[in-house]
Structures are given as structure tokens and as C-alpha cells.
Amino acid sequence: AQSVTQLDSQVPVFEEAPVELRCNYSSSVSVYLFWYVQYPNQGLQLLLKYLSGSTLVKGINGFEAEFNKSQTSFHLRKPSVHISDTAEYFCAVSRTDSWGKLQFGAGTQVVVTP
Amino acid sequence: EAGVTQFPSHSVIEKGQTVTLRCDPISGHDNLYWYRRVMGKEIKFLLHFVKESKQDESGMPNNRFLAERTGGTYSTLKVQPAELEDSGVYFCASSQSGELFFGEGSRLTVL
């Protein structure tokens, strides 16, 4: 079984400041890692994913994440946020043999203010 | 190209009533998933269809939930009878062979 822990339920941040959202996971088998975003009144949208290869993954909208196997972490970062980045962010994992079956974290609400 | 569509967007029913949620996946996507987020909890996997077959229904909470995907196109999720703890947002997602595309969700409120 897998589990995902998002360490912050809410992160307030000023516009143009950097942001880091923390995600730790546990699993006894190999997994794929994902970050999804949900903007208000919209569905979940894939930001980025780690399947294999380079541990630094770049996604849409200027986001990136780094896979750290020894620390079982997959933290999400953006160097400079915009008001439009206000949303809820979800870290998720899946087994490599069933990658549509996602195990989600509890979500982190990011609120960007001017 | 149309995305994943779900309806109703919001349904309010009384305990003991029946509700049917519908999901129309992206055309051509064989894989269809149902997830739900109960208030204050994580988004949880419910089940996975490949075409019209249930590939994995390990996340279905109990036998009050029935999912179907006749003809391998749209899917329905019926809750009968609904209980208070069924309140939450039900998400549908579809994929062909990779990325999941999610709908906006159907919010269910059971009073």
C-alpha cells in the first residue's frame, strides 16, 4: 500500500514570491509521482509527473518538482507566483503497474495575495 | 475537443433517496475512473473501467454504490439509498494510455 502526506494544508504567499509545497510518500513498491492542481470551480489538472529518469521534473505554468528517493519526497516549487496560482494542489502516487489508480494527499491550498 | 463532462454539477437529496451521477469521458478513451472526495478527506479512488468492463472496483465503499458503463462510452454511478456520509465531490477521469483527464466533479449533498 502507498500513502501520501502533504505537510501543509494551507500556504499563504505574496505575489512574485517563491513557493514550495511539500510532499512525502511511502510505498513498498516502485511508484510514479504526480502533482495536480485544482483551480476554483474546475477539475483536476496535471501539473507534472515523475515516471523515471531525471529527478528534476518541469511542468506547466513554471512549476517544477524534485524526486528524492532517499527522503521519499516530491516537493513542488515555483520561483515566482502569480495571483492566478491561487488553487489547491494535490500530490499523488500510483503503482507503476496501475498508474491510473492514484493515491492522493490531502491537498495544499495556496493563496496568493498582492 | 470536449473534455470530461459530468452532471449534475450539484445534487442535493435527502437521506434514503437515490442519486445517479453521469460521466462522459473524452471520446476514444477506453479507461474511465471514478474518484470521490468526502469533506475534509483525501480524494479516494473508487473504481476503474476499461471499456465496459470493471477492471478494479476495490475502492467502492459498499453495495449502495453501483457503477455501470454500458457500451463502453459514458458511465453512471448510482447511490441507493444515499446516506449522510456519502456527501462529497465525485470526480470522473478518463485516459487512453497515459495522463488522466478529470472532469469538474459532481458535488453531492445528502441532508
Structure confidence at residue A67 (pLDDT): 94
A43/B91 CB distance under 8 A:
yes
- Quickly tell me which residue has 500513502 as its cell: A3
Task: Return the pLDDT at B99.
Answer: 86
Instruction: In whole angstroms, give the CA distance from residue B50 to residue B54.
Output: 6
pLDDT computed for residue B70 by the predictor: 85
Any bridge partners for residue B88, and if so which? B38, B108
Reported as a single tens digit per residue, the pLDDT across B7-60 is: 999 999 999 999 999 999 999 999 999 999 998 789 999 999 999 999 999 999
Closest-CA distance of chain B to residue A35, Å: 12
Beta-ladder partners of B63: none
Q: Side-chain half-sphere of A29: how many Cα atoms within 13 Å?
A: 10
- Is the confidence at residue B1, as pLDDT, over 80? no
Q: Among A44, A98, A105, whose Cβ lies nearest the Cβ of B42? A: A105
**In this predicted structure, what is the pLDDT of residue B5?**
96
User: pLDDT for B51-89, tens place per residue?
Assistant: 999 999 999 999 999 999 988 899 999 999 999 999 999
Q: How many angstroms from the chain centroid is the CA of residue A57?
A: 11
Residue segments in chain A with a per-residue pLDDT below the cut of 70: none
Task: Tell me whether residues A44 and B42 touch, CB distance under 8 A.
Answer: no
For residue A111, the model assigns a pLDDT of 97
pLDDT at residue A53, as a whole number: 87
Report the chain B residue with the minimal C-alpha distance to residue A42.
B104
Cell match 470551480: residue?
A41
Cβ separation of B3 and A43 shorter than 8 Å? Answer: yes
- For chain B, give the mean pLDDT: 95
Residue B17 contacts A where some CB pair is shorter than 8 Å:
no
